[in-house]
């Protein structure tokens, strides 16, 4: 369990950032699947994972509320895109970058929610492995 007030706020902020990062990354992948690959089933699978992230965090509504209340976009020095974020040469690059973003965010969610609710952490672990499997299935399409 998170103890100190400042540490607590920082942990919830990390959770908030990674909830957004995971869902945004999957949303980009879902749009590629739906509109570029015309993969209705693939888009549904990606959407299902994206929605499961939201359902998982809402199992404990207090975590969700605290995460949003600790959001601080005004002081986030990472909100400027770096060189690699600006560089995309193909739809495949965009797709790969956003799958990677979702996987990394799911891992961070798994690790930081361990400090608050181990059950939710285990759910994020399962989500992360679903993302791995879907990524493998998806890249056969490119």
pLDDT at residue number 81 = 59
Q: Alpha helices of 87-117 — where are they, by DSSP H?
A: 91-113
Angle value at C-alpha 103, between 50 and 90, nearest 5 degrees: 90
pLDDT at residue number 42 = 94
CB proximity list for 63: less than 8 A, separation 6 or greater: 12, 15, 57, 113, 116, 117, 120
Alpha-carbon span 71 to 2, nearest angstrom = 17
> CB neighbours (10 Å) of residue 58?
12
Question: Rounded to whole angstroms, what are the CA distances from 8 to 3, 14, 75?
Answer: 6, 10, 17
For the chain (142 residues), the mean pLDDT of every run of 10, in chain order, is: 72 97 98 93 97 96 93 75 69 94 98 96 98 90 76
pLDDT at residue number 90 = 93
Alpha-carbon span 21 to 98, nearest angstrom = 9
The domain segmentation of the chain, as residue ranges, is 5-72+84-141
How far is C-alpha 137 from the geometric centre of its chain's CA atoms?
A: 19
pLDDT at residue number 93 = 93
Alpha-carbon span 32 to 86, nearest angstrom = 18
């Amino acid at each position: 369990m998170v103890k100190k007030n400042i540490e607590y706020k920082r942990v919830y902020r990390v959770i908030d950032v990674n909830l957004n990062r995971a869902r945004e990354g999957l949303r980009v992948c879902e749009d590629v699947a739906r509109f570029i690959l015309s993969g209705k089933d693939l888009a549904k699978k990606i959407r299902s994972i994206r929605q499961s992230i939201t359902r998982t965090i809402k199992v404990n509504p207090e975590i969700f509320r605290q995460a949003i209340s600790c959001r601080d976009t005004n002081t986030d020095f990472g909100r400027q895109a770096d060189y690699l974020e600006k560089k995309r040469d193909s739809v495949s690059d965009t797709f790969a970058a956003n799958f990677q973003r979702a996987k990394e965010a799911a891992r961070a969610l798994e690790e930081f929610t361990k400090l608050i609710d181990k059950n939710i952490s285990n759910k994020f672990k399962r989500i992360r492995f679903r993302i791995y499997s879907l990524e493998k299935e998806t890249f056969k399409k490119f």
